Structure 1
Amino acid sequence: MKIALKILGTPQPKQSTRFKVQKFGSKQFAKAYQPAKVIQNERNIAFDVKSQLPKGFIPFTTAIKAKVTFVFPPLKSWNKKIQEQFETGEKIYKTSRPDLTDNLMKGTMDAMTGIVYTDDAVIVKVESEKIYGKVPRIEIEFEEL
């Protein structure tokens, strides 16, 4: 089985877990948390994904391949040569932050756990890229192996 999903909007990275010191009586504890915007981004992805899945979809439990393309809006600071390449449809790779593997992929894949697959451990093969495009989005294809 193969499914294709499209999540509109500029891809957002998942930041590292943050910590804060909290007091309980006379004792102090370190508490881990995620910023609210990270949690909301994952909820938005989950909502978009659920709305695109076929009726009666059962999450993958066996080995799957994920192909993910993160599409970012073009930069206003591009020189004329790059703007022309972009306008003629040439693929322009995004070589700046956010990081592909540990920031973009992590948040996107975490958001789909329990919806598209039972656990992200079933993803055994990944193909991904960051590019610029006219419509910012995340395109995802899952294929059972």
Structure 2
Amino acid sequence: MASNQVIKLVINQVPQPQPRPRVTVRGKYAHAYESKKIRTYKKLVAHKYRLEYAQKLPTEKPLSVDVRFYRPIQKSISKIERHRRLTGQSWPTVKPDVDNYVKAILDALNGVAFKDDSQIVVLYARKIYSDNPRTEIEITEM
């Protein structure tokens, strides 16, 4: 990334939160694993980044990350409430939590867009209702 260059990435899929790892115990050993759904989503995010920024090596500079999670609107609401959600008068204060969405995105881009997520010094994240579910990511070198 050139100085202060902004990397923009849009994932045109319903945002997926990072769930707690599942743990199985076999004998005296415990094994933690992720669901297939979240593994597939993270691979999609990393693949999309590699496609659009193939020549970019993972940066080692401090970063600012701005992520917007556009969630689908539930079908069983009134027209008035639907309008409120589409115009930003109503925000998605339901689960999943925004930090779980962020965790999935940062994990997917770790080692791909940046060397390590410890480089992120500024982070903006928000959940928004939309008829077009997606995730928009902007990464800026500080």
Question: TM-score, normalization: structure 2?
Answer: 0.89
Unaligned runs of 5+ in 2: none
User: CA-to-partner distance for each residue in 1:73-109, whole Å, 9 max, x for gaps?
Assistant: 11112222222334xx5114211111111x1111111
Partner of 2:95: 97
2:133 corresponds to 1:133: no
Correspondent of 1:17 among 7, 15, 21: 21
Q: Secondary structure at the match of 1:117?
A: coil
Match of 1:69?
A: 68
Counterpart residue number, 1:4: 8
Share of identical aligned residues, percent? 30
Pairs aligned (count): 137
Unpaired runs of 5+ residues, structure 1, are: none
The alpha carbon displacement at 1:126 in A equals: 0.5
TM-score (norm 1): 0.88
Deviations for 1:105-139, whole angstroms, at most 9, x for unmatched residues? 11111000111101011011011100111211000
How far, CA to CA, are the matches of 1:36 and 1:9 in structure 2?
16
Please report the RMSD computed on the Cα atoms of aligned residues, expressed in angstroms.
1.4
State the Cα deviation string for residues 33-80 of structure 1 (Å, max 9, x = none).
Answer: 112222111111111121122x42122211110000000111112222
